[in-house]
């Protein structure tokens, strides 16, 4: 697979004067007061943004933050704390723009942060109308959010279908380089080199190989089957981080009677489960998510109560593997 790299476009002078839309992953943890407690993802995003500025682009950056309700803005969902920290790292003012779908007033050499993309109606469902509207804002779309590549959302997938040029940012390109080192026909690793949960991939044999999966997860399966601890560790850290955020939030949402939020959180980690769990758990996740779209709290709460400990067990298994790696 040939992938256009943003770094190559910059080196070729193809970015100067262009409107560049960067989908970053700035979803960082915050305390109850909204203070950022860990800024690794923000710091990691600086390279791509600075690359675009140095190349003479008019730069737009957006990200999700948490799991807001589409079309319903709350201050807790805002990227304001992110904008403040990113401005410090870039050593320049960084305006934060809300309601940005109808136009972004940014000139070459400037950068603007666009408010939480998950507030846009149609983001989760990857509606064509929203994807086209986002793509119309830019000349070049840059995907630099590796942690979201399993999501088929408007800002991660749909926009790439309609943008004039779509390419991989430096963070995504680096992960792809690491994963591409996996052999095309990986062999079963020695005993003790895989998570027990990953054994299911071998037991499923040809059926597992035929299962339709997003490209990155398909590559993840190859890494897991090979047992490359370095590459597998990167993937598992991404999975563990997502699950660690989502599982407590699911419990809180159910306690508050918010079935829609609990269901959205389950959907956010659903893409990982077929890779790292047995078929029975995959089926259970799918069943609960389906009912969560239509049924009341009284119906789905007992199902979540049964499912959450199993997902927590998978998370603990992943953490044990990472601790021993």
CA distance 199 to 68: 36
- Note whether 129 and 213 are same-domain residues: no
Cβ contact 229:193 at 8 Å: yes
- Note whether 166 and 192 are same-domain residues: no
- Note whether 135 and 243 are same-domain residues: no
Number of domains in the chain: 2
Residue 180 lies in a domain: no
Mean pLDDT per 10-residue run, the chain (325 residues)?
Answer: 87 97 92 86 94 98 94 94 96 96 96 97 95 97 85 91 94 74 44 41 38 42 44 68 88 92 86 63 83 89 90 79 62
Residue 290 lies in a domain: yes
- Note whether 228 and 294 are same-domain residues: yes
- Note whether 130 and 231 are same-domain residues: no
Structural domain ending residue among the three candidates 107, 140, 175: 175
- Note whether 214 and 298 are same-domain residues: yes
Residue 151 lies in a domain: yes
β-partners of residue 97 are 114
Structural domain ending residue among the three candidates 121, 148, 175: 175
Residue 182 lies in a domain: no
Helix axes 279-292 and 259-270, enclosed angle (nearest 10): 150
Residue 311 belongs to domain spanning: 188-324
What is the pTM (predicted TM-score) of this model?
0.62
Residue 20 lies in a domain: yes
- Note whether 42 and 134 are same-domain residues: yes
- Note whether 157 and 253 are same-domain residues: no
**3-state DSSP assignment of residue 83:** helix
Q: Write out the two tokens for 217.
A: 């997860």
CA distance 52 to 257: 44
Location of structure tokens 């601790």: 323
What does residue 213 show for φ and ψ, rounded to 5 degrees? -140, 155
- Note whether 210 and 128 are same-domain residues: no
CA distance 33 to 28: 14
pLDDT value at residue 313: 82
Which CATH number goes with the domain that contains 158? 3.40.50.1260
Residue 232 lies in a domain: yes
Structural domain ending residue among the three candidates 118, 140, 175: 175
Residue 158 lies in a domain: yes
Residue 1 lies in a domain: no
- Note whether 134 and 218 are same-domain residues: no
pLDDT value at residue 105: 96
- Note whether 154 and 39 are same-domain residues: yes
- Note whether 49 and 169 are same-domain residues: yes
CA quadruple 250, 253, 257, 259: dihedral sign: negative
263 contacts: CB under 8 Å, gap ≥ 6: 289, 292, 293, 300
């Amino acid at each position: 697979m040939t992938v256009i790299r943003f770094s190559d476009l910059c080196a070729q002078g193809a970015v100067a004067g262009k409107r560049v839309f960067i989908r970053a992953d700035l979803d960082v943890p915050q305390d109850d007061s909204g203070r950022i407690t860990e800024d690794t993802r923000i710091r990691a995003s600086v390279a791509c943004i600075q690359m675009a500025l140095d190349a003479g682009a008019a730069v737009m950056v957006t990200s999700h933050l948490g799991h807001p309700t589409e079309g319903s803005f709350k201050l807790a969902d805002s990227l304001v704390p992110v904008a403040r920290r990113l401005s410090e790292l870039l050593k320049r003012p960084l305006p934060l723009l809300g309601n940005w779908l109808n136009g972004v007033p940014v000139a070459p050499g400037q950068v603007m942060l666009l408010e939480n993309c998950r507030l846009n109606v149609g983001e989760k469902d990857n509606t064509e109308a929203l994807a086209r509207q986002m793509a119309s804002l830019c000349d070049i779309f840059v995907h630099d959010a590796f942690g979201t590549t399993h999501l088929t959302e408007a800002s991660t997938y749909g926009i790439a279908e309609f943008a004039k040029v779509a390419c991989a940012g430096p963070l995504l390109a680096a992960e792809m380089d690491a994963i591409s080192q996996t052999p095309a026909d990986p062999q079963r690793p020695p005993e003790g080199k895989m998570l027990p949960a990953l054994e299911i991939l071998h037991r499923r044999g040809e059926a597992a190989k035929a299962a339709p999966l997003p490209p990155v997860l398909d590559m993840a399966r190859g890494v897991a089957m090979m047992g490359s601890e370095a590459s597998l560790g990167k993937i598992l850290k991404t999975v563990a981080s997502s699950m660690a955020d989502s599982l407590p939030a699911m419990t809180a949402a159910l306690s508050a009677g918010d079935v829609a939020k609990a269901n959205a959180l389950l959907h956010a980690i659903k893409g990982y489960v077929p890779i790292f769990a047995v078929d029975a758990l995959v089926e259970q996740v799918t069943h609960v998510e389906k009912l969560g779209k239509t049924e009341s709290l009284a119906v789905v709460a007992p199902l979540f109560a049964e499912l959450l400990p199993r997902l927590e067990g998978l998370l603990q298994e992943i953490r044990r593997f990472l601790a021993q790696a």
